[in-house]
Structure 1
Amino acid sequence: MTLGPDDAAISDARALLARHPVVDGHNDLPWALREQVGYDLDRRDIATDQSQTLHTDLDRLRAGGVGAQFWSVYVRADLSGDSAVSATLEQIDCVRSLIARYPQALRAAFTAEDVESAREQGVIASLMGAEGGHSIACSLATLRALYALGVRYMTLTHNKNVPWADSATDTPAAGGLTPFGEEVVREMNRLGMLVDLSHTSADTMRDALRVSRSPVVFSHSSARAVCDHPRNVPDDVLAQLPANGGVAMATFVPAFVLSEVGEWNRAADENMRAHGFDRLETSAEAAAVRREFEAAHPRPRATVSTVADHLDHMRQIAGIDHIGLGGDFDGTTDTTSGLDDVSGYPRLIAELLDRGWSEPDIAKLTWSNAVRVLRDGQRVAVEFSRTERPSIATMAELDSAV
């Protein structure tokens, strides 16, 4: 059988990904497993087809050319204190259970060397990232404990502010980072835990870039100049990444990549409120209202080309050495057409090849930029270890002095 143009392009993309797999910055499978089956992995066996319930299973990871995955150990922002810490530990336990259950496919990774070794052995390097500073309950000792358990980045905020940092989607309170927030960044540098600036306000991004001696990451954020959403990265911040050495990993969430989707979401949410429902209500009555609205107002669809537009822009502003991919699969109900699950990466790579991206450029996007940042974070931690001791500062002592 002769391959058609589209089939041939996908075949070329798959071959390229076999040489340069994807390091994906963010996947919320652990939270989906918590919500759907209470971590009962027998009921969501990702060694079997889970396409009816999840964006992620092992066969689709392989089909997508994923060679390393940061599994998010996210917990909801309305959890705080000990409840947030306990839930984060349960998420970490879930990732460890997945790795233990599927040793033929997943390998725990804590360093750049571990990631490279897993690739050589044909398994998916599995790293962890905590999503939201509420997971440490304003405790640097808890931050260190998460690092000891294998967490290799922490997103400073989720959708709500934390007492020491502002979120992109909350009312500003700190004006960026407080003095304790700056100490959190320094302690993360000392440990070798990457500072993740997705979900943070633009002022928090700028403060963190000013303070951090280690490269930062945006584990799942796209370009604000292409889609004006607060979850995306402004151009002035993207332009600072070469000096910092960091990487912005484009995400595929439709509302973050296509402005019309955000507008549609706001109208749909207002319609729900007008009918007496919260926008997240899941009852049959609420679902009927949602279906009726969508039938009358078809949902705009982001496409692979939409995401490629973000990558073109991010490459132009930050440079090819400072971009990556972070799909946010299993962390969103709405997906981009063609990037509907973790198997979709070859379609995006085919689109980039069609736009004239070279193999060396794509290799940086998918693999080497992320591995370099991980390695550079380790190097900075070694430098810190020669002169710095673990911080015993508290938020009360630092922020009360302001």
Structure 2
Amino acid sequence: MTPHHEATVVDAHNDLLMLVVRRPRAVWATYFRDHWYPQLREGGVDVQVLPVFIDAEFRPEGALRETLRMVEAAHRIAEANADVVALCRDGAEIDAALASGRIALVLALEGCPQVDDDLELLHTLSRLGVRVVSFTHFGRSMLADGSAEDATGGRLTRAGVEAVGLLEALDVLVDVSHLSRSGVDHVLELATRPVIATHSSAHAVHRHHRNLVDDHLRGVAATGGVVCVTFFAGFLTDDKPTLDHLVDHVAHVVAVAGEDHVGLGSDFMSEVIDEKVPACDRPLVVEGVDAEIAIPGLEGPAGLPLVTDALLRRGFPEPLVRKVLGANVLRVLGAGPRRPRGPGSGSGGGIALS
């Protein structure tokens, strides 16, 4: 058994729901089971955060409708595949899923176009299972400015300030990935509970506006939260991306924020781009970087064991690797140490995490 499959692996950001809902609703559950579940198992994934991202074609009028379709897809996936996955609303449900050998699925919102300043909808979406929320994407929303708008110096709006308090009261994690620098400052000033960055890397290692500066790495850690390093190549380096570039970012976050405050948020884009972007729009450039370039072997979740191998080769001790792979994110999701897997789960037995 490899160190990777002995650990609890949490991926804080995989956009697979975008591809599920492109298919007829009658096959949502079977498509997940036949196509995504084998990849997640091969990658040793135990907890998968599923962001709900709303493409521009649905904004603004169709944003809530598409959100509800994606949330419904997650529920149907879990109900029809209850022997292998569970949609989890809190740490106790995550623990129960892991104890039974199933993959825990956790819903998140990436940006809030479906909410705007109608904050009562956060109550509704929380009831439906959403446990993580970010306020914007690259641009401006009714709650905050995204990182591509750093030059405005925009902080949270009044609705954004109210949303932080409401989400904390609902026991929903505030996600600072994609926020402007001033917006992250503002969240960290307000936060009384752990904050997460579901898919952000280190600005000191690669100076892209999507990455967090060291003060923000320390600030997230001070809340008890976690920074989940993204695999998105253009946010890691301007060079040909390698696993070493990814490990450089992990190592920097560990050095600045501490070993209890770093995790992984893959943001795999290869399949999303292959399905959704027509040839006439290639190459797809996102905020100045070619989104079609991926770290070799990390085009999808099956490649996650490569990350563990790279961390170990760099000299990370196994207890630290287990924290990076998932123990730290489990803590902020409210789940305890890993329970032994159920029989026949396909990924080996479990160990307690330090």
The interval holding the TM-score normalised by the smaller chain is 0.7 to 0.9
Query: Counterparts of 1:32-47 in structure 2 under 5 Å?
Result: 32-35=19-22, 37-39=23-25, 41=27, 45-47=31-33
1:26 pairs with 2:13: yes
Pick from 311, 317, 322: which aligns with 2:256? 317
One-letter code of the match for 2:223? Answer: N
Deviations 1:242-291 (A, max 9, x none): 3111101011011111124xxxxxxxxxxxxxxxxxxxxxxxxxxxxxxx
Q: TM-score, normalised by structure 1?
A: 0.74
Unaligned runs of 5+ in 1: 1-13, 51-56, 261-300, 377-402
Change (3 A) 1:94 1:168: same
Aligned counterpart, 2:235: 256
Secondary structure of the corresponding residue to residue 133 of structure 1: coil
Corresponding position of 2:315 = 356
Q: State the distance in 2 between where 1:315 and 1:180 align.
A: 33
- Structure 2 residues not aligned, in runs of 5+: 274-291, 336-354
Report the CA distance between 1:186 and its aligned residue: 0.8
Larger radius of gyration: 1
Give the 3 Å change call, closer, same or farther, for CA 340–165 of structure 1 in structure 2: same
Deviation at 1:38, TM superposition (A): 4.9
Map Cα deviations across residues 49-92 of structure 1 (whole Å, 9 max, x no partner): x4xxxxxx211211111000011111125644552111111110
1:91 aligns with 2:30: no
The alpha-carbon distance between structure 1 residues 255 and 45, as it changes in their structure 2 partners (threshold 3 A), is same
Higher helix share: 1
Cα separation, partners in 2 of 1:89 and 1:46, compared to 1, 3 Å: closer
Identical amino acids, percent of aligned pairs: 31
**Map of 1:368 onto structure 2:** 327
Query: CA shift at 1:177, angstroms?
Result: 0.7
Distance 1:242 1:21 in 2: 21
Query: What is the aligned length?
Result: 315
The correspondence of residues 2-401 of structure 1 with structure 2, limited to 5 A, is 15-35=2-22, 37-39=23-25, 41=27, 45-48=31-34, 50=35, 57-77=36-56, 79-170=58-149, 173=152, 175-260=154-239, 301-330=240-269, 333-375=292-334
Moved more, 125-134 or 167-176: 167-176
Alignment deviations for residues 365-392 of structure 1 (CA, whole Å, 9 cap, x no partner): 122211111229xxxxxxxxxxxxxxxx
Name the residue aligned to 1:288: none
Deviations 1:100-152 (A, max 9, x none): 22222211111112112211111100110011022212111101101010000
> Is the contact made by 2:28 and 2:76 (CA closer than 8 Å) also made in structure 1?
no
What is the CA RMSD across the aligned residues, in angstroms?
2.0
The Cα shift of 1:33 comes to 2.4
Closer, same or farther in 2 for the Cα pair 1:169/1:19, shift >3 Å?
A: same
Shift of 1:155: 1.2
Q: Would you say the 8 A contact 1:85–1:137 is kept in 2?
A: no
SS at match of 2:260: helix
| Residues 18-27 or 195-204, more deviating | 18-27
Taking structure 2 as the reference length, the TM-score comes to 0.84
